[in-house]
Amino acid sequence: MGWLTDWRRSRVLKKHRIDERQWLAATGGFAFLKNYPHEKLKRLVLQFLAEKHFTGAHGFQVTDTIRLSIAAQACLPVLELGLDWYAGWSGIVVYPGDFRVRRSEVDEDGVLHEWDDELAGEAMPGGPVVLSWDAAAHATDINVVIHEFAHKLDMLNGAPNGMPPLHAGMDAAAWHAAFTVAFEGFNDALERGTDTWLDPYAAEHPSEFFAVISESFFEDPAETRRRYPDVYDQLKLFYRQDPA
């Protein structure tokens, strides 16, 4: 059914335009977006908006500006990959602020533990992306939108493990080596109490490291390349972009 999708997407571009003033209102706060091909990003955003469905949680009103702002950042990782990388789900749930999720786990003695996590974002395999607008709107050090959509890419080949499906010609061993060295070095630095450049949350799991360094790849590519040259090279091959 690829032709039908192609036809729908080209029709969206013929019928809709993004007003430049509205685009600036939605994206002006994200200076890094100016480094990317403007018209190409806008075209992808139009198609993204036609295919994804936004819902406000807790009575939150998702305005056109909010939709545009989230879509612009979400489209950046797939700018050269295409929207098919976000296929198979359509929901984006936006909370006004951080939200609570109930977690539970049965320990080795069979005892059920339950607790609440407070989150700024969550991506579910085959399900929606959930975002806190407060966190998404004040993305300075942390970009929750790019973070959650990077998780979506990571989940395409099963449980998130820090390695999305690589393109033909990419070397899984090279990816694994680059990310393992970086992840272990990052954890060592945290244990020594060294100030880390990346959000310490990256140490939680290889999948979190991939999501966090994907944020910095797009937001601060030159510094990402300087600090993590091997990881940068792998991300460049995967995202098919060389923003530095």
The answer to whether the beta carbons of residues 168 and 121 sit under 8 Å apart is: no
Nearer to Zn ion (CB atom), residue 75 or residue 203? 203
Minimum CB separation of residue 208 from Zn ion in Å reads: 5
Nearest distance in Å: CB 171, Zn ion: 25
- Read off the DSSP letter of residue 95: E
Torsion angles phi and psi, residue 124, rounded to 5: -110, 140
Rg (CA), the chain: 18
Question: Residue 172: helix, strand or coil by DSSP?
Answer: helix
Whole-angstrom CA distances from 198 to 125, 185, 207, 213, 221 are 25, 12, 14, 7, 13
Q: CB nearest Zn ion: which residue?
A: 211
Of 49 and 211, which CB lies nearer to Zn ion in the complex structure? 211
Q: Which of residues 149-208 bind Zn ion (CB under 5 A)?
A: 208
Which structure tokens are listed for 233? 């090279």
CB distance 203 to 190 below 8 Å: yes
Output 23 or 133, the one with its CB closest to Zn ion: 133
Nearer to Zn ion, 208 or 219 (CB): 208
Q: Is 142 in the site for Zn ion (CB under 5 A)?
A: no
Pick between residue 206 and residue 243 the one whose CB is nearest to Zn ion.
Answer: 206
Dist CA 34 CA 178 (whole Å): 29
**Residue 76 to residue 218: CA distance in whole angstroms:** 8
Minimum CB distance to Zn ion smaller for 26 or for 76? 76
103: part of which helix (H) or strand (E)? strand 99-106
Q: Tell which one of 18, 44, 211, 235 touches Zn ion (CB under 5 A).
A: 211
Smallest gap from Cβ 75 to Zn ion, in A, equals: 19
Binding residues with Zn ion: total (CB under 5 A)? 2
CB of 203 to Zn ion, least distance (A): 12
For the bound state, the minimum distance from the C-beta of residue 133 to Zn ion, rounded and expressed in Å, comes to: 17
Which CB, 37 or 97, lies closer to Zn ion?
A: 97
Task: Give the angle subtended at the CA of 77 by the CAs of 48 and 79, to the nearest 5°.
Answer: 60
Shortest distance, CB of residue 207 to Zn ion, whole angstroms?
7
**DSSP assignment letter at 242:** -
Residues near Zn ion (CB under 5 A):
208, 211
